[in-house]
């Protein structure tokens, strides 16, 4: 599936919510969701009555987070939308969607080999306990503080286990 576009920033923007978090532009959201539907990514969700509805997919060093609000929001809430958490997840997803990627590492981004990312993604079982736990952790990101904490924890060297 190719999303096209002249530059990666047409589909993704660096989010001010946390380092290594990218907001997915509305026109790109269906392509991201379609790719996730075809992948064996562990998933989790949160449906508390007074909190946003969260869907989370674990992917490499982070995952994808969908946030939907059904009521009033506060300035501490993660805004509604679709987010990619993790530089490795971002690199793999943009490559798989055929979206142009940054040619150089972004500030704070480690160097990744795309073939290694693909192999790590394919090698990770959706039933792996670590992967399920990662999805469940992502599904707790109802506010900015939690999202920053989770993104930082998953990006930490000990959290950067790409296979499981």
pLDDT of residue 104 exceeding 80: yes
Task: Go through 113-133 and write b for each residue having 16 or more CB atoms within 10 A of its CB, e for each that does not.
Answer: eeeebeebbeebeeeeeebbe
What does the pLDDT read at residue 159? 43
CA dihedral angle for residue 120, residue 122, residue 127, residue 131, rounded to 10 degrees: 30
CB neighbour list of residue 20: distance below 8 Å, 6 or more residues apart: 61, 62, 85, 86, 87, 90, 108, 109, 151, 155
What does the pLDDT read at residue 5? 54
Confidence of residue 69 (pLDDT cuts 50, 70, 90): confident
What does the pLDDT read at residue 129? 73
Confidence of residue 163 (pLDDT cuts 50, 70, 90): very low
What does the pLDDT read at residue 12? 92
CB 37 within 8 A of CB 53: no
| Domain ranges for the chain | 8-159
pLDDT of residue 142 exceeding 80: yes
What does the pLDDT read at residue 1? 46
Two structure tokens written together for 85: 């958490």
Average pLDDT, the chain: 85
Distance CA 42, CA 57 (A): 6
């Amino acid at each position: 599936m190719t999303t096209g576009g002249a530059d990666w920033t047409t589909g993704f923007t660096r989010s001010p919510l946390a380092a290594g978090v990218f907001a997915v532009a509305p026109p790109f959201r269906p392509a991201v969701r379609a790719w996730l539907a075809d992948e064996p990514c562990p998933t989790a969700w949160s449906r508390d009555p007074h909190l946003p509805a969260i869907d989370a997919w674990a992917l490499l060093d982070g995952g994808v987070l969908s946030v939907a609000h059904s009521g009033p929001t506060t300035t501490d809430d993660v805004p509604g939308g679709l987010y990619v958490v993790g530089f490795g997840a971002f690199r793999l997803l943009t490559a798989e969607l055929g979206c142009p990627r940054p040619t150089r590492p972004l500030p704070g981004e480690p160097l990744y080999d795309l073939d290694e990312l693909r192999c790590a993604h394919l090698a990770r079982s959706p039933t792996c306990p670590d992967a399920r736990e990662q999805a469940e952790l992502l599904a707790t990101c109802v506010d900015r503080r939690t999202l920053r904490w989770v993104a930082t924890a998953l990006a930490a060297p000990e959290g950067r286990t790409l296979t499981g």
